[in-house]
């Protein structure tokens, strides 16, 4: 019986550790996986796995949130509302935006500071115009805001009252 308990405990750790790595408080920021069963209206959604190579926008793997090392999904994550800083690594597609100087090296990029609002989706990437390496930076390239939708039960009750 003790051996079975040890095996079950080890199996539980294998399942819980990856989830715990994403469900973390980074500094003061609460960060959750995109697939979390959390009310979407209470968190901001951050999408980082989409780029626009023809516009020199690369996807971003976030590695730092609020100045602290962070382990989040490369696809994106949920973050609590408020002002947060992000940084990470990008994979550049040079087929659309080739570098004019092949000896060019990329230095450190300043953090991107964003005020996240609950219920909104933020698309974040790395902007790299090949002719202006000094302008390379992290950017929010799209924001989708979701209107707050009343629960269906509340709408039905309001209709019945009329």
pLDDT for res 148: 52
Residue 108 lies in a domain: yes
Give me the number of domains the chain comprises: 1
Mean pLDDT of the chain: 78
Assigned domain for 82 exists: yes
According to the model, what pLDDT value does residue 55 have? 93
User: Does residue 121 belong to any structural domain of this protein?
Assistant: yes
Residue 36: per-residue pLDDT: 73
Q: For 63-118, what is each residue's pLDDT tens digit?
A: 999 999 998 998 999 999 999 999 999 988 888 888 877 777 777 899 999 999 99
pLDDT tens figures, 19-56: 344 444 445 578 888 877 676 678 999 999 999 999 99
For residue 109, being part of any structural domain is answered with yes
Domain-embedded: residue 37: yes
Domain residue limits at 38:
23-161
Asked if residue 69 is part of any domain, the answer here is yes
Which stretches does DSSP call E strand in the chain?
Answer: 24-26, 29-33, 44-47, 57-58, 60-65, 68-69, 76-79, 82-90, 112-116, 120-127, 137-145
In a domain, 13, yes or no: no
> What does the pLDDT read at residue 104?
75
Q: How many other CB atoms sit within 10 Å of the CB of residue 77?
A: 26
**Is 58 part of a structural domain of the chain?**
yes
């Amino acid at each position: 019986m003790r051996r079975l308990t040890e095996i079950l405990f080890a199996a539980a750790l294998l399942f819980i550790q990856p989830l715990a790595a994403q469900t973390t408080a980074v500094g003061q920021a609460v960060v959750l996986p995109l697939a979390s069963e959390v009310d979407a209206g209470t968190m901001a959604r951050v999408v980082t796995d989409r780029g626009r190579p023809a516009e020199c926008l690369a996807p971003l793997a976030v590695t730092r949130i609020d100045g602290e090392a962070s382990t989040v999904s490369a696809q994106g994550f949920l973050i609590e509302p408020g002002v947060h800083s992000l940084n990470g690594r990008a994979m550049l597609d040079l087929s659309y935006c080739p570098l004019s100087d092949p000896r060019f090296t990329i230095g450190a990029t300043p953090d991107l500071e964003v005020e996240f609002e609950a219920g909104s989706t933020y698309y974040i990437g790395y902007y790299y115009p090949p002719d202006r390496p000094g302008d390379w930076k992290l950017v929010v390239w799209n924001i989708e805001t979701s209107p707050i939708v009343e629960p269906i039960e509340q709408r039905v009750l309001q209709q019945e009252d009329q």
